[in-house]
A and B are shown apart, each in its own frame.
Chain A
Amino acid sequence: MVELIRVGLGMPAMQNNGVVIQRLTNHSPDATVSPEPGTDRNGPTSLIKSATSAIDCIKYAHNHFNMKFHPSAFQSLEGKRKFLSLIKTYMDLGGHHTQFNVIDANTLKDAQLHPENYRDLVVREAGFSAFSIILEKFVQEEIIKRREYRFEGV
């Protein structure tokens, strides 16, 4: 672990399984261990492991971590429990500060207009996730519609 961090300090960003962790990049105004957009391609569990391996509480205080979620992740009790177990694991692996985003439909609409800005935008389809921009238009529409319905319902 110590070795990994030392190597990381000498490089513009830290790589772990293809995930580029933001610490020490110019894009990282807020000392995070969050991924460089577009490099987190193996889902939340993989991301948590990469992030926790880059935590540095001593020298630069790179220690907090952002994640984003689809609102449906929080609908059922089961979903909330799974979410809690993610946080628990993050803490077990040495994390102590993490925060979450839940994407809204407007983002997805904007992604339809400007896909080039959204290569990393993940949507949850049905039990699996996909990058929003590679889905067909009507599937994107479908997800946007469904999302809005759910927001009205909440």
Chain B
Amino acid sequence: MGNDFSAIKGYIFDIQRYSINDGPGIRTTVFLKECPLRCLWCDNPESQEIRPELFYFKSLCVKCLRCIKVCPVGANKITNDSNIEIDRELCKVCGACVEACLDEARAISGRLISVEEVIEIVKKDALFYRNSGGGITLSGGEPCCQPLFAINLLEQSHQCGFHTTLDTTGYAPWEVFESIVRHADLVLYDIKHVDPQRHKELTGVDNKLILDNLKRIILQKIQVIVRVPLIPGLNDSDDNIRRLGEFVVDLDSRIEVDLLPYHPLGTSKYSRLGREYMLSGTVQFREEEVEKIQQRLKSYGLNVVIA
């Protein structure tokens, strides 16, 4: 304890205490910034870049124009229909407008924090972890984008006796991935699409590395839950579900598969960041449709859970 490594810093955008969907029990989830993927349905668009970003909550804004007065680069403007517009190109995310705003309509997402500081926060709920079988989860973003930070967080958590979970896309060079994964008690591993070409269209990267890394960690007997974000019309085709079932069964039929049906609830974040949401108008699955997919995957002998 108390070694030099705890001074290592990394960029995070949130620490969510009482997180109950990212591994067993009551957990604290640390969301690391930066991701090599650009999934069309991304729930956490503020996670994609390493740099901090400015959130603007239009519904809380009373248009007092303080932000316009304080901005050193003049990135805030008032439009003809008397709305406030942020020029994201000009904005340096200095935080002056966040300070000035009296209605908490602005916030900066992302900050640099040391391993030690994170562990201090994680420790607060130690008794809850013990009573519920919980612990710490690293999510993001892709935690493997900040390997040194991730490894030290997991290591320090283990030193405190906490169960560790890594929520990952699996998209990282094997050496890097392996060095992080071996500190995780459980890996939540996303498979977004089985077809390489389609995967590239949907997420911006090829899935070869992802599937290869998955095979390798399974060989190392690391506990894995495969998570599939189900997006209507994008990866719910019969063909993809069949190939997914075959692929996972081929690895190990005891692997649990969690289905995460699409929801549009991350959409607010896109407008807060002044970005466009690519999947607007996507209709959510009906319960029966998800159950049908669940049944189909179950027919391969897998344990399939709808999250």
Contact = CB atoms under 8 A, between A and B. Distances in A.
Interface residues of A, number: 29
Given A85-B25, A88-B131, A136 B59 contact: yes
B19 A128 contact: yes
A125 B128 contact: no
Interface string A101-139: 000000000000001000000000111101001111011
Nearest to A87: B131
B282 interface: no
A86 B25 CA distance: 10
Question: Main SS of chain B's interface residues?
Answer: mixed
B124 A135 contact: no
Contact of B128 (A42, A89, A135): A89
A124 to B, nearest CB: 9
B268 A134 contact: yes
Contacts of A93: 127
**Majority-rule SS of A interface residues:** helix
B264 interface: yes
Interface residues of B, number: 26
B265 A45 contact: no
A136 B268 CA distance: 6
B18 A126 contact: no
Contacts of B18: 43-46
B240 to A, nearest CB: 22
Contacts of A96: none
10 contacts: A45-B26, A45-B124, A45-B128, A82-B20, A85-B132, A86-B26, A93-B127, A125-B265, A134-B268, A139-B267
The 10 closest A-B pairs by CB, nearest first: A127-B21, A85-B132, A43-B18, A85-B131, A125-B265, A45-B125, A136-B268, A88-B131, A43-B17, A45-B18
